Structure 1
Amino acid sequence: MRWPTLLFIFIFTTLIIAMNGESAEPEQVHLATTGIPEEMVVQWGTEEDTTVSCPSGNTVEYGIDNDNLNLSKNGNNDMYLWTTCTHTTLLSNLNPNTTYYYRVGGDGEWSNVYSFKTLEENPDKIIIGAIADHGTSSNAQETTSNMEGENLNLVIHPGDISYANGAGSGNSIGDQSVWDEYQNQIESLTSESPHMYAPGNHEEDSEPYGFDAYESRFFNPGPNSFWYSFDFEFIHFVSISSEHEYEPGSTQHTWLKNDLEDANENRGNYPWIVVFAHRPMYSSNGDGDGHGSEIEFREAMESLLFDYQVDLAIWGHDHHYERTYPVFEEEVYSNNSGTQNDPFYKPGATIHIVAGMAGRSTYDGLEEPQPLWSAYREVAYGYTLFEATNTSINYKFIRNSDMQIADEFWLVNTINVQEPTETPETNYNQTNQTEDTSLINQIKELNYLETPFIIIIIAITAIFNLKFRKK
């Protein structure tokens, strides 16, 4: 008899609190993209009194004047078994190449005013950031601060985001307050540049949470939280999960095959394909406390990347930076230097990046000797970014300690041939070519006059004799 009574009291009390709840102060402001240039997804969190009710406002006020936020849009909210409520509002019909100012909240509780800038219409280039294994350490904060000055149009994050769960892979229930700490820590970056994610092993709590925090806190443009794709100017991005079933015949494997097939046929509109997920198919950081290449994941998925000519694959999980040559089944397809003067031109296989150096303690377990497929590797904190155009990708790893470019490469899909702008000086070969051209023209004229064949033969013989006499 006591349990039904206690349950009734709990439910009744919760409803009373919910009915009398007040709006909470907005925090954890972050942006996401739908892939449509005229849209921006705005998300934020509020700390509520219960895990079952979110009375705080879902409104974004925005405009092109910092002092006149004359537009507004309402959204929705979501909660899991935690008191943080995530609010999501979609802004649409935005103008290109425009700075928008915005604040979030409602019912008397508003955030500070933030801003973001929409892309130009048909931009010459875009700049994408890529980091993984971030967390809340001082090194992670330094990475965030350094990235703020890069004018990033988008950031992709291949998993192990906050480290709320230090054990990972469903082995314990993490401290959910670390999610709040993390999202407040990176707000200065996420409030101005949209971020898109893939799940890592440290996003998975044991039951009853599972991946609830990841699913509730972050927007994605597809019906599935764990694998999805979107187009962003020149690039088709594909986020997949190394933490869910991926074997051939699985739902994810079938989806990926269909998505990459469509993307490869749509190269005319989006010439580049970039895949990102957490566990790396190629990593030489496998000694000691490292992890190394995820062989089972690679054997299940790599053939799809090869068949549909995925250009870049960006991973995390191992806490260092590493870049491969274009590689498939450990066979190197191009050993170009990758410099601007010697770029990778349609190399025929994917270049893999491990970008797990964003803030979590580094792994110093590099295998020796360095594998032939490994082009560059370094154990250092930092971040990566790449500038993309219709015809090129320029990828860089920037080291935090000195803000120097530690590694850089170029990938191109077109080789430009420069036409000479001045008439070259005459030389012997060119003089002979001119005389030969004149000779051919004389022969053609004879044919056009429908001259009898025997006369043409005599004439050709005479012309050749005249030429050799001149020499």
Structure 2
Amino acid sequence: MIMGNFTSLKYACFLSCLVGCVGALSAKGNKVDKINGRNIPQQVHIGFGETTNEMVVMWSTEHNDSSVVEYHTGDNSDENVKTVRGNTVYFPENANGLQFFHRVLLSKLQPGVKYYYAVRGEKRESISDQFSFVTPDSNEKQIFMIYGDMGTMTKSLPFIVYEATGETKYTSIFHLGDIAYDLGRENGAIGDKFFTKVERMAARIPYMTIPGDHEMFPKSKNQYLHRISNPGKEWPMRPEDLWYSVNIGKVHFICISTEVFFTNKMNIQKIMDWLVQDLEEANTQRQKYPWIVVMAHRPLYCSTDDKNEDCTKAHSVVRTHLEDMFYFYGVDLVFSGHQHMYERTWPVYKNRVLAYNYLDPRGTVHIVIGNMGNVYLTEKGSKPGGPWSSFISRSEHEMYGRLYVYNSTHIYWEVRGAQDNDLYDSRWIIQRIHGPFNKSSIFIPDPLGAAGAAWRRQQEDSSDFINLRFFYMNGDDYTNRITVLTFTVIILLFGLCFKKKILNIVRLCFVKQESLPK
């Protein structure tokens, strides 16, 4: 293990040096391009539109130019390449960076298809490298990378970029606020540096974000509004509308700004009204999108030693506004950052643990994964903040999370080190009764399980004679079938033990009695 970790660290260091060299060569190339009059697109990144059948492509340039995307599905012959135009905005606040931001919306994409694209200005000489992305297929397993509080100072940033573009096929990346540290620092130079460093992954995997407190800093706020485009929202974005939702696979993701509770309180009622409307709609579609997952910057629960943090207080502002709503509408998971640590709770409501397991939880599970920025600040939780705390990482490693959504009932969560990829935490969450937690529900399994449902559909679609081999040839739903077998044996044993009494009862009920002579 030690040798493996050492090899991983050497590889990460080599990769970091390689990225630096590439950056230096790129900077040299930009000087040549400027001399030749070329306006090469840089900092390319993508994100979902209002649905996963839409993709937003964004980039920056040094000089004013058109915003054009050319894309195809593998055949780049002229008749198969589509060209889409978008918008360009001038952003003078980016005094030490690129001041022209571009945005193009690709629509009517097909699910599960790999698209190749390049971006350019009006002249073809300005075309970028070719990138690609794959649109999600709702029938397939989805994998999401999740982390918070990551900037240019994060030591593991080169590893994260390598991991995101490696063997694991991520559906999207969620960055839970506090981006770049900070987007507006050095008059935009840091924002440019960050999006240059993440381009390799953000140009290929939808890079979804929410604002943190650092995005509300005066010099960073407008940067965030121009560099990011939220699904279904205007661009440049409006500061009073920094929240959105999007359905990906089996999950309804709700991405909110918790900063409204601490900055512009005029927006509190607006976000609360929007949340109610969104959650109401989401619960009407629970059959199609059973999981509801919230992405937020500030956590509702945490065990940090810093008692000035909102999540440690008895009357937490964020918890006061959101917890009842999450419980009432059955929000399954809440991911957050802000605290530079890792922590996972049991299903919890009002500081009360509802179960010490993750089987059909009747409350929300909260996960804090904000320690990607711990080179900037490391926070510790020396003891659990309450009985609801299930796991706290004592390590000061930078970590990231993977969320595997297998189907309507099973998801798997794991946390890995961002320098050695070692596994630090993992849990299955099984939820078979999606819906509001305030309604009492009892899960009664189909006696034949999922295999039985599939078998019945097969019989409806086929005229063949009943084929029971389906049950023992399929490997799924083993537990339910064992349960059925166990109860069948119990019933048979009960019948054997009390067969005389059972026969007498049957005789009394169904056999006609002869009347006795007077």
Calculate the TM-score normalised by the size of structure 2.
0.72
2:196 to 180, 184, 189: 184
Matched-pair contact (CA < 8 Å) for 1:44–1:86: yes
The structure where helix makes up a greater share of residues is: 2
Q: Relative to structure 1, is the Cα distance of residues 219 and 439 closer, same or farther in structure 2, using a 3 angstrom cutoff?
A: same
Matched-pair contact (CA < 8 Å) for 1:324–1:353: yes
CA distance, structure 1, for counterparts of residue 383 and residue 402 of structure 2: 28
1:72 to 80, 83, 86: 83
Verify: 1:349 aligned to 2:363, yes or no: yes
Per mean C-alpha deviation after superposition, the further-off stretch among 293-302 and 416-425 is: 416-425
Match of 2:495, SS state, is helix
Match of 2:401, SS state, is strand
Number of positions where the alignment pairs a residue of Structure 1 with one of Structure 2: 411
Q: What residue is the counterpart of 1:312 in the other structure?
A: 333
Residues 153-199 of structure 1: per-residue CA shift (max 9 Å, x gap): 01111100111269xxxxxx653111111011011111111021110
1:434, CA displacement in angstroms? 5.0
2:398 to 372, 381, 388: 381
Matches within 5 A, 1:254-273: 254-273=273-292
Verify: 1:62 aligned to 2:59, yes or no: no
1:292, CA displacement in angstroms? 5.2
2:114 to 78, 83, 99: 99
Match of 2:46, SS state, is strand
Matched-pair contact (CA < 8 Å) for 1:164–1:177: no
1:87, CA displacement in angstroms? 1.5
Q: What residue is the counterpart of 1:284 in the other structure?
A: 303
Matched-pair contact (CA < 8 Å) for 1:162–1:178: yes
1:124, CA displacement in angstroms? 3.3
1:444, CA displacement in angstroms? 5.3
Residues 262-308 of structure 1: per-residue CA shift (max 9 Å, x gap): 22232112101111111111121233998754721211222111111
Q: Which amino acid aligns with 1:348?
A: R
Verify: 1:195 aligned to 2:257, yes or no: no
CA distance, structure 1, for counterparts of residue 147 and residue 328 of structure 2: 26
Q: What residue is the counterpart of 1:45 in the other structure?
A: 60
1:439, CA displacement in angstroms? 7.5
Match of 2:331, SS state, is coil
Q: Relative to structure 1, is the Cα distance of residues 445 and 311 closer, same or farther in structure 2, using a 3 angstrom cutoff?
A: same
Q: What residue is the counterpart of 2:471 in the other structure?
A: none
Matched-pair contact (CA < 8 Å) for 1:174–1:205: no
1:44, CA displacement in angstroms? 1.4
Verify: 1:413 aligned to 2:431, yes or no: yes
1:409, CA displacement in angstroms? 1.1
Q: Relative to structure 1, is the Cα distance of residues 147 and 358 closer, same or farther in structure 2, using a 3 angstrom cutoff?
A: farther
Matches within 5 A, 1:123-138: 123-137=139-153, 138=155
Match of 2:190, SS state, is helix
Q: Relative to structure 1, is the Cα distance of residues 282 and 79 closer, same or farther in structure 2, using a 3 angstrom cutoff?
A: farther
Match of 2:223, SS state, is helix
1:346, CA displacement in angstroms? 2.8
Matches within 5 A, 1:416-431: 417-420=479-482, 430-431=492-493
Larger Rg: 1
Residues 14-40 of structure 1: per-residue CA shift (max 9 Å, x gap): xxxxxxxx7621011111112523322
1:99, CA displacement in angstroms? 1.6
Matched-pair contact (CA < 8 Å) for 1:136–1:181: yes
Q: Which amino acid aligns with 2:330?
A: Q
CA distance, structure 1, for counterparts of residue 515 and residue 333 of structure 2: 65
Q: Relative to structure 1, is the Cα distance of residues 241 and 442 closer, same or farther in structure 2, using a 3 angstrom cutoff?
A: same
1:230 to 218, 224, 246: 246
Percent of matched pairs sharing the same residue: 30
Q: Which amino acid aligns with 1:221?
A: P
Q: Relative to structure 1, is the Cα distance of residues 428 and 211 closer, same or farther in structure 2, using a 3 angstrom cutoff?
A: closer
1:332 to 332, 353, 364: 353
Per mean C-alpha deviation after superposition, the further-off stretch among 426-435 and 306-315 is: 426-435
Q: What residue is the counterpart of 2:453 in the other structure?
A: none
Matched-pair contact (CA < 8 Å) for 1:324–1:373: yes
CA distance, structure 2, for counterparts of residue 140 and residue 33 of structure 1: 23
CA distance, structure 1, for counterparts of residue 324 and residue 47 of structure 2: 30
Q: Which amino acid aligns with 1:430?
A: L
Matched-pair contact (CA < 8 Å) for 2:74–2:116: yes
Q: What residue is the counterpart of 1:402 in the other structure?
A: 420
Verify: 1:241 aligned to 2:257, yes or no: yes
Structure 1, unpaired ranges of 5+: 1-21, 49-53, 167-172, 337-343, 456-471
CA RMSD, 1 decimal:
3.1
Residues 55-96 of structure 1: per-residue CA shift (max 9 Å, x gap): x23111111227547222111123333343222212223233
Structure 2, unpaired ranges of 5+: 1-36, 433-444, 446-476
Match of 1:250, SS state, is helix
Residues 221-256 of structure 1: per-residue CA shift (max 9 Å, x gap): 244641111111211111111212487962112221
CA distance, structure 1, for counterparts of residue 163 and residue 364 of structure 2: 28
CA distance, structure 2, for counterparts of residue 163 and residue 426 of structure 1: 63
Q: Relative to structure 1, is the Cα distance of residues 360 and 143 closer, same or farther in structure 2, using a 3 angstrom cutoff?
A: farther
Per mean C-alpha deviation after superposition, the further-off stretch among 231-240 and 144-153 is: 144-153
Matched-pair contact (CA < 8 Å) for 1:44–1:88: yes
Per mean C-alpha deviation after superposition, the further-off stretch among 242-251 and 67-76 is: 242-251
CA distance, structure 1, for counterparts of residue 162 and residue 490 of structure 2: 62
Calculate the TM-score normalised by the size of structure 1.
0.78
2:225 to 205, 211, 215: 215
CA distance, structure 1, for counterparts of residue 244 and residue 173 of structure 2: 16
Matched-pair contact (CA < 8 Å) for 2:177–2:210: yes
Q: What residue is the counterpart of 1:340 in the other structure?
A: none
Matched-pair contact (CA < 8 Å) for 1:290–1:364: no
Q: Which amino acid aligns with 1:156?
A: F
Q: Which amino acid aligns with 1:216?
A: H
Q: Relative to structure 1, is the Cα distance of residues 66 and 29 closer, same or farther in structure 2, using a 3 angstrom cutoff?
A: farther
